[in-house]
Amino acid sequence: MARVNENYLKLPGSYLFSEIGRRVRDFSAQNPEAEIIRLGIGDVTLPIAPAIIEAMHKAVDEMGEKETFRGYAPDLGYDFLRNAIAENDYKSRGCDISADEIFVSDGAKCDCSNIQEIFSADSRIAVCDPVYPVYVDSNVMAGRCGEYDPEKQLWSNVIYMPCTAGNGFSPEFPKENPDLIYLCFPNNPTGATITRSRLQEWVDYANKTGAIILYDAAYEAYISQPDIPHSIYECDGARSCAIEFRSFSKNAGFTGVRLGFTVIPKELEADGVKVHPLWARRHGTKYNGAPYIIQRAGEAVYSEEGKKQLREQVSYYMNNAKCIYEGLRAAGYTVSGGENAPYIWLKTPDNMTSWEFFDYLLKRVNIVGTPGSGFGPSGEGYFRLTAFGTYENTVKAIERIKNMD
């Protein structure tokens, strides 16, 4: 008799953004006249840049002609894209990463959630708290997280690293020894960053303890200050302890286009076993490559025109971030993030819980944000707003919040 993976049944409620979607739909159904502004989910609003559109049209045409049609892509990605990534994201920053250490995929969410499966079932994971829910949930599904305490909102077998106002939203080394450490900088949800010297300490810590750092750098395009690393491979020794995830969703607006990649240095080992061939094997067995058309879109991200157009897009969103940050401060809120990240992290007023503030904001001024508690217990009492809306809506939203009694 077939039986289900019982770990799935341990997952509490639905995925955070599904729950937000449900509440917004319900509110909207009851208040059809409400003009809702969504600054919740990290979804972009600017259309795809012209250089990328042009590249996609060209690739579509190629797929329609016998001479240029492409069937199955190479398992790990086309060389034209892997080379462009290695050159532009790594070599140009002095990072020693080669094209064959880059695994092209359909997005960082897939990679972040799938990576755990190449590691031992009894691996202990450490995560920041608050944290992007996918890291924990994917490990729950694999049975690594123990039991859930709904009161504390904690899993018994996960090592949590609180990121609070007290430590500047930067995690301290855990007291227990984790096997896998998830780090995300610029951070989702807090918008906090890490300095190069602090990240170097993490790399040294991982090399000393034999842990592997799973480094999510999906938001690196938003870094504006010079001492903040764009890649973990800017640190000495990262090649022997770190895997890096990158996305095209936020720097190029590919949330509906779908493209990302993972970097695994060839010498990276887990207890003496090379990790690179395992991930290659997973790709070969469970994946068939990102669409050719989309990989050409990715290539155009690195063209001169593409780079120029995308710098403008990032500036546009960062201007929104500034508008939110300064507007909320002026309105008396305690805010952080938003300077090197598209996320603004604010303290809820009047000791409201995160979900209370979510409902309050939705009902009072028809603005959708993300409850901090959805990212973990240390997110309780916080709220995330994103800079990915239109400028007009962002300004309007902040005006509405300012004018709430």
Applying the rule CB under 8 A, the residues between 92 and 121 that interact with a copy of itself are 106-107, 109-110, 113-114, 117-121
244 binds a copy of itself per the rule CB under 8 A: no
Interaction between residue 123 and a copy of itself (CB under 8 A)? yes
DSSP 94-115: T----GGGEEEES-HHHHHHHG
Scan residues 197-226 and list those touching a copy of itself (CB under 8 A). 209-212
Binding mask of the shown chain, residues 49 to 68, with x at each position contacting a copy of itself by CB under 8 A: -x--x--xx--xx-xxxx-x
Chosen residue from 20, 217, 242, 275 binding a copy of itself by CB under 8 A? 275
Does 11 contact a copy of itself by CB under 8 A? yes
Name residue, tokens 């031992």. Answer: 120
In the complex, what is the shortest distance from the CB of residue 229 to a copy of itself, in angstroms, rounded to a whole number? 22
List Cβ neighbours of 374 (8 Å cut-off, separation of 6 or more). Answer: 16, 19, 20, 133, 354
Q: Which is nearer to a copy of itself, 281 or 363 (CB)?
A: 281
8 makes contact with a copy of itself (CB under 8 A): yes
CB 183 within 8 A of CB 211: no
In the complex, what is the shortest distance from the CB of residue 121 to a copy of itself, in angstroms, rounded to a whole number? 7
Rounded distance between C-alpha atoms, residue 118 and residue 233, angstroms: 21
| Alpha carbons 327 and 345: distance in angstroms, whole number | 13
The string of DSSP letters for 176-199 reads: S--SEEEEESS-TTT-----HHHH
Out of 255, 262, 309, 373, point to the residue binding a copy of itself (CB under 8 A). Answer: 255
Number of residues that bind a copy of itself (CB under 8 A): 85
Pairing of strands 212-216, 180-184: parallel
Residues 366-385 that bind a copy of itself (CB under 8 A): none
Q: Site residues for a copy of itself, window 311-330 (CB under 8 A)?
A: none
Bond from prior residue into 226 cis (ω within 30 degrees of 0):
no
Residue 139 and residue 9 in contact, taking contact as beta carbons nearer than 8 Å:
no
Answer yes or no whether residue 270 interacts with a copy of itself by CB under 8 A.
Answer: yes
- Which positions ≥6 away from 326 have C-beta within 8 Å? none
Rule CB under 8 A: is residue 137 a binding residue for a copy of itself?
yes
Tokens found for residue 203: 């790399």
Work out how close the CB of 349 gets to a copy of itself at its nearest, in angstroms, rounded to a whole number.
Answer: 30
| Cis ω before 130 (30° cut-off from 0) | yes
What token pair was written down for 49? 């840049």
Quote the least distance from Cβ 338 to a copy of itself, whole Å: 20
Least distance CB 113 / a copy of itself (angstroms): 4
Least distance to a copy of itself, CB of residue 133, Å: 8
Q: Which of 12, 47, 330, 404 binds a copy of itself (CB under 8 A)?
A: 47
Q: Which is nearer to a copy of itself, 5 or 334 (CB)?
A: 5
Q: Does 138 bind a copy of itself (CB under 8 A)?
A: yes
Residue 42 contacts residue 386 (beta carbons within 8 Å): yes
